[in-house]
C-alpha cells in the first residue's frame, strides 16, 4: 500500500494524540500506542482534566466522570521515558 505524504500546511495543523483510559474507580492508564493524528475537532472529548505524573499535561474525556476513553495531546521529548503507573 502506497502512503501519500501530508501537505505541509495540513501537517502543521494536525495534532498527535495518545489514548488514556479511566476506570469506574477513577484510575487512569496511558496506552503507549496508538499515537495518532487528528485534524478535526475533539467532539465529543470536551471534558478537560490536568494530568500529573504523566508525559502529557492534559487529557480530554468524552464523559465527565466514570469509565471512559480520553485523548491527550502527545508531548514526548527526545531522551524522555514515559512514566509508568501501577494499577491496583
**What is the model's pLDDT at position 3?**
57
Q: Which residues pair with 58 in a beta bridge?
A: 50
pLDDT at 10 > cutoff 50: no
82 close to 32: Cβ distance less than 8 angstroms: yes
pTM for this entry: 0.66
In order, the DSSP letters of 34-77 are: EEEEE-S--TT--EEEE-SSSSSSEEEESSSSSSEEEEEE----
56-78 per-position pLDDT tens digit: 999 999 999 999 999 998 865 54
pLDDT band of 5, cuts 50, 70, 90: low
Amino acid at each position: 500500500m502506497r502512503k501519500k505524504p501530508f501537505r505541509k500546511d495540513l501537517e502543521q495543523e494536525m495534532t498527535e494524540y495518545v489514548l488514556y483510559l479511566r476506570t469506574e474507580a477513577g484510575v487512569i492508564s496511558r496506552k503507549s500506542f496508538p499515537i495518532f493524528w487528528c485534524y478535526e475537532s475533539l467532539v465529543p472529548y470536551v471534558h478537560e482534566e490536568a494530568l500529573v505524573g504523566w508525559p502529557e499535561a492534559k487529557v480530554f474525556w468524552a464523559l465527565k466522570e466514570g469509565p471512559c476513553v480520553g485523548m491527550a495531546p502527545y508531548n514526548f521529548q527526545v531522551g524522555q521515558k514515559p512514566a509508568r503507573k501501577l494499577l491496583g
